[in-house]
């Protein structure tokens, strides 16, 4: 096909191109920086964008949800206990479970003479599940963020020193890390949580960090070893840069990508770990709640009042899912070689 069209064009239409050596290598468009390139790849990733949207919606509710219904997370009232969910407009939509009717077909709101609507229902002490779910999500996200941040600080310092100085320092530090790596993560977390009698957000996050930072330090060390002998570092060293400024100004910025990806994977696993702890009775102490403790409380009355468990379970699943999707997308965007 293309051969035929080429033959049809008369040869006198062609003109010799001028060879301009000065402009041949001219860069005609602005060049993309690494971060711009990564952002473009990230924005093109459908999964990551979906995760971003879900997380955005969840965050709006996490920030404003606890103030929306007019009930505090620890307001108890046994007269309005165990109400099923009821939402103003949606109560008329048959297939949605927001009509205030329990699974036996009884309208609990009528029976208990409650005029107010509880969007996600109430728990066995009459506390508003809508407020508790979002207040709990706040706690879960905070634990995730805290654990990831402390992980990052320790991991980057340890891995950075180990990789940068190398030699005997590296050997000793790596032996230490290797032993910590062998300790099963959740067992250590359980043991440390047992020591704190009423664990709060900080102590739970700290317990997760105890062995959690090792994987971050390994990644930083690996990158450090790869980068520290490259030309730009040697050049900077030749010009008299101190070790501190080499690490802070040249090396760490260049391994920001893997660090961010690792942090994004730490957040959902910390959220999961906290939920797991709540489930075996070691999580945040009541009346405060996390998503994990809500799911675990709700499970006790799963057969009679399924909404108490299902709503927080959906929120925690969406939360972990969105973080995982974003982390996957970031990994693909920041390190195209790692994906596929």
Choose which of 178, 230, 235, 287 interacts with other proteins (CB under 8 A). Answer: 178
Using the minimum distance from each CB to other proteins, give the nearer residue, 57 or 186.
Answer: 186
- Residue 137 makes contact with other proteins by CB under 8 A: no
The two tokens of residue 254 are: 């260049």
- Residue 275 makes contact with other proteins by CB under 8 A: yes
**303-306 CB contacts, 8 Å cutoff, 24+ apart:** 304/103, 305/82, 305/84, 305/102, 305/121, 305/124, 306/103
- Residue 306 makes contact with other proteins by CB under 8 A: yes
Choose which of 59, 125, 190, 246 interacts with other proteins (CB under 8 A). Answer: 190
Stretch that binds other proteins, among 35-43, 82-90, 115-123, 180-188 (CB under 8 A): 180-188
Using the minimum distance from each CB to other proteins, give the nearer residue, 82 or 250.
Answer: 82
User: Shortest Cβ distance from residue 198 to other proteins (Å)?
Assistant: 10
User: Shortest Cβ distance from residue 6 to other proteins (Å)?
Assistant: 32
Using the minimum distance from each CB to other proteins, give the nearer residue, 233 or 282.
Answer: 282
The two tokens of residue 58 are: 């969840």
Number of C-beta neighbours around residue 218 at 10 A: 20
Using the minimum distance from each CB to other proteins, give the nearer residue, 49 or 190.
Answer: 190
SS3 category, 118: coil
User: Shortest Cβ distance from residue 161 to other proteins (Å)?
Assistant: 19
SS3 category, 257: helix
User: Shortest Cβ distance from residue 147 to other proteins (Å)?
Assistant: 16
- Residue 192 makes contact with other proteins by CB under 8 A: yes
Distance CA 54, CA 57 (A): 5
Distance CA 167, CA 162 (A): 9
- Residue 281 makes contact with other proteins by CB under 8 A: yes
User: Shortest Cβ distance from residue 175 to other proteins (Å)?
Assistant: 9
- Residue 56 makes contact with other proteins by CB under 8 A: no
SS3 category, 122: strand
Cis amide linkage into residue 282, ω under 30° from 0 = no
Q: Which residue has the tokens 């994987």?
A: 215
Angle between helices 46-68 and 34-44 (to 10 degrees): 80
> Smallest Cα–Cα separation from 121: which of 76, 94, 86?
86
- Residue 57 makes contact with other proteins by CB under 8 A: no
User: Shortest Cβ distance from residue 183 to other proteins (Å)?
Assistant: 6
Stretch that binds other proteins, among 79-87, 107-115, 220-228, 278-286 (CB under 8 A): 278-286
**Residues 196-255 within binding reach of other proteins (CB under 8 A):** 197
- Residue 187 makes contact with other proteins by CB under 8 A: yes
Contacts of 264 (CB under 8 A, 6+ apart): 148, 323, 326, 327, 330
- Strand partners of residue 86: 99
Distance CA 4, CA 256 (A): 53
Binding site for other proteins (CB under 8 A): 47, 178-179, 182-188, 190-192, 194-195, 197, 268, 272, 275-276, 279-282, 295-296, 299, 302-303, 306, 309-310, 313, 316-317, 320-321, 324-325, 328, 340
């Amino acid at each position: 096909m293309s051969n035929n069209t080429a033959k049809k064009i008369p040869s006198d239409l062609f003109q010799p191109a001028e060879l301009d050596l000065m402009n041949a290598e001219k860069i005609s468009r602005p060049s993309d920086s690494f971060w711009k390139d990564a952002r473009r790849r990230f924005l093109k990733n459908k999964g990551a964008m979906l995760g971003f949207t879900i997380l955005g919606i969840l965050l709006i509710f996490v920030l404003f949800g606890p103030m929306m219904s007019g009930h505090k997370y620890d307001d108890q009232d046994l007269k309005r206990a165990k109400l099923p969910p009821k939402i103003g407009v949606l109560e008329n939509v048959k297939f949605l479970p927001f009509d205030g009717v329990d699974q036996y077909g009884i309208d609990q709101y009528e029976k208990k003479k409650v005029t107010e609507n509880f969007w996600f229902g109430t728990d066995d002490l009459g506390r508003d599940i809508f407020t508790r779910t979002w207040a709990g999500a706040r706690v879960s996200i905070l634990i995730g963020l805290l654990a990831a941040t402390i992980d990052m600080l320790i991991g980057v310092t340890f891995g950075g020193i180990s990789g940068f100085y190398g030699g005997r320092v590296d050997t000793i530090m790596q032996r230490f890390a290797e032993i910590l790596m062998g300790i099963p993560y959740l067992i250590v977390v359980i043991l440390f949580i047992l020591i704190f009698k009423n664990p709060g957000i900080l102590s739970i996050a700290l317990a997760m960090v105890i062995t959690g930072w090792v994987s971050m330090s390994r990644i930083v060390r690996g990158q450090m070893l790869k980068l520290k002998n490259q030309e730009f570092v040697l050049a900077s060293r030749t010009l008299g840069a101190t070790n501190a400024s080499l690490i802070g100004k040249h090396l760490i910025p260049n391994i920001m990508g893997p660090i961010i990806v690792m942090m994004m994977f730490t957040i959902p696993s910390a959220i999961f770990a906290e939920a797991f702890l709540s489930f075996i009775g070691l999580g945040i102490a009541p009346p405060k709640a996390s998503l994990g403790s809500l799911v675990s409380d709700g499970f006790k009355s799963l057969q009679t009042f399924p909404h108490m468990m299902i709503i927080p379970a959906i929120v925690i699943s969406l939360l972990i899912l969105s973080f995982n999707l974003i982390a996957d997308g970031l990994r693909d965007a920041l390190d195209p070689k790692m994906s596929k």
